[in-house]
Amino acid sequence: MAWEPLNLVGHAFSNGLALRSGSSLRLAAWPADATTGSVTLTLWDAATNEVTNIVATVGSPVPYAFDQAGLFTVSGVCSNANGVTNGTLAVRVVTGAFNGREAACVTGQPRTWDCPGITTDSVIVADSLLSLTATNLVSGGTRFTVMHPSDKPLYMVARLGADGPVLDSAKIVAISGDNGSYFRVLETFSDGSRRVEVRLQLGTVPADLLVKLHIFVGGVTFLDGTLDMTLTAADFDESGVCTYQMLQSAASFTSVCHTTQIYQDTVYIGGTR
């Protein structure tokens, strides 16, 4: 496949050109029938500051990499015995990045995922099983509301235009919404109080996982006497299981009921409240 030059002379670029950051063009600026002459290519930023100035000759296109996001104007001037010809091109260079390469959802529960690096005109393509809506962030970027229905990883990409290059991709993983429903009595003390073990099984455990536990029934505490405990990814084994213990008084005849709030970093993504 040949890398065709983009000739600024003799072509109308009324809508300009949108490029992914890092993309390159082979720039040319001379009439189709020209065989000799000098060519000057100049790149200007949105504030009309000159970014670069390149001198070339007719017949020798110049590769140029647009590695900085923003709005630019490329001008080309050809001078030869037949006179001076010129052309311009407006270029919009776009970057796009999700907020991390992996987002976690509690299965069947919607969560928000703020991605300041995804522009509102990016085209999002996602697995059909993924429930996905998008709104604009006031400060710029996109807020996604995501719901994952299964236990398999799903994927989404951001494109520059419907059939354009991929700006970034992300994996959406699912966490089981288990509330520590399995428990067993490990020990009964002489006063009738009990030491109880609870198992919390989440399956997938992202590195930035936080789980906040809160006991809301009377007569039950964690082993340190408190009603609250925070778990991190390090507390779970390779199967996504964590066990923890509680003390239940002799007078407590309820279960060891507690809420399980699951966070990715500092963002609440699901569980029970």
Has residue 49 been placed in a domain? yes
Residue after which a domain boundary falls, among 38, 61, 94: 94
Has residue 248 been placed in a domain? yes
Contact 45, 70 (CB under 8 A): yes
The least confident of 27-41, 82-96, 127-141, 166-180 is 166-180
In this structure, the answer to whether residues 150 and 120 fall within a common structural domain is: yes
Q: What confidence tens digit (pLDDT) does each residue in 94-131 have?
A: 999 999 989 999 999 999 999 999 988 899 999 999 99
In this structure, the answer to whether residues 247 and 207 fall within a common structural domain is: yes
- Residue 86: per-residue pLDDT: 94
Inform me whether the pLDDT recorded for 32 exceeds 80. yes
Has residue 1 been placed in a domain? no
In this structure, the answer to whether residues 227 and 168 fall within a common structural domain is: no
Residue after which a domain boundary falls, among 94, 113, 148: 94
Cα 78 to chain centroid distance, Å, stands at 44
Q: Tell me the residue range of the domain where 235 lies.
A: 182-272
Terminal-to-terminal C-alpha distance of the chain? 58
Task: Work out the pLDDT band at 25, boundaries 50, 70, 90.
Answer: very high
Has residue 74 been placed in a domain? yes
- Residue 181: per-residue pLDDT: 64
Inform me whether the pLDDT recorded for 151 exceeds 70. yes
- Residue 270: per-residue pLDDT: 93
- Residue 169: per-residue pLDDT: 97
- Residue 130: per-residue pLDDT: 96
- CATH number of the domain to which 204 belongs: 2.60.40
- Residue 19: per-residue pLDDT: 95
In this structure, the answer to whether residues 64 and 140 fall within a common structural domain is: no
Inform me whether the pLDDT recorded for 256 exceeds 80. no
Q: What is the pTM of this model?
A: 0.81
Residue after which a domain boundary falls, among 142, 175, 208: 175
Give me the number of domains the chain comprises: 3
Tokens of 153: 């990883």
In this structure, the answer to whether residues 223 and 146 fall within a common structural domain is: no
- Residue 229: per-residue pLDDT: 97
Task: Work out the pLDDT band at 272, boundaries 50, 70, 90.
Answer: confident
In this structure, the answer to whether residues 110 and 137 fall within a common structural domain is: yes
Instruction: Kindly state the average pLDDT of the residues 160-180.
Output: 88
- CATH number of the domain to which 33 belongs: 2.60.40.10
- Residue 248: per-residue pLDDT: 93
Has residue 158 been placed in a domain? yes
Has residue 165 been placed in a domain? yes
Q: How far apart are CA 65 and CA 112, in angstroms?
A: 35
Q: How far apart are CA 40 and CA 140, in angstroms?
A: 37
Q: How far apart are CA 245 and CA 85, in angstroms?
A: 81
Inform me whether the pLDDT recorded for 74 exceeds 90. yes
- What is the pairing mode between strands 23-28 and 131-136? unpaired
SS (H, E, C) the chain: CCCCCEECCCCCCCCCEEEECCEEEEEECCCCCCCCCEEEEEEEECCCCEEEEEEEECCCCEEEEECCCEEEEEEEEEEECCEEEEEEEEEEEECCCCCCCEEEEECCCCEEEEECCCCCCCEEEECCCCEEEEEECCCCCEEEEEECCCCCCEEEEEECCCCCCEEEEEEEEEECCCCCCEEEEEEECCCCCEEEEEEEECECCCCCEEEEEEECCCCEEECCCCCEEEEEHHHCCCCCEEEEEEEECCCCCCCCCEEEEEEECCEEEEEEC
Has residue 127 been placed in a domain? yes
Has residue 189 been placed in a domain? yes
Inform me whether the pLDDT recorded for 255 exceeds 90. no
Instruction: Kindly state the average pLDDT of the residues 44-68.
Output: 96
Tokens of 94: 């776009």
Tokens of 203: 């399956």
In this structure, the answer to whether residues 193 and 143 fall within a common structural domain is: no
In this structure, the answer to whether residues 129 and 81 fall within a common structural domain is: no
- CATH number of the domain to which 121 belongs: 2.60.40.1080
In this structure, the answer to whether residues 229 and 251 fall within a common structural domain is: yes
Q: How far apart are CA 183 and CA 165, in angstroms?
A: 51
Residues 6+ apart with CB under 8 A from 266: 210
26-47 burial code (b ≥16 CB/10 A, e <16): ebbbbbeebeebebebbbbeee
Q: What percent of the chain has pLDDT over 90?
A: 83
In this structure, the answer to whether residues 109 and 52 fall within a common structural domain is: no
In this structure, the answer to whether residues 169 and 186 fall within a common structural domain is: no
In this structure, the answer to whether residues 106 and 77 fall within a common structural domain is: no
Task: Work out the pLDDT band at 180, boundaries 50, 70, 90.
Answer: low
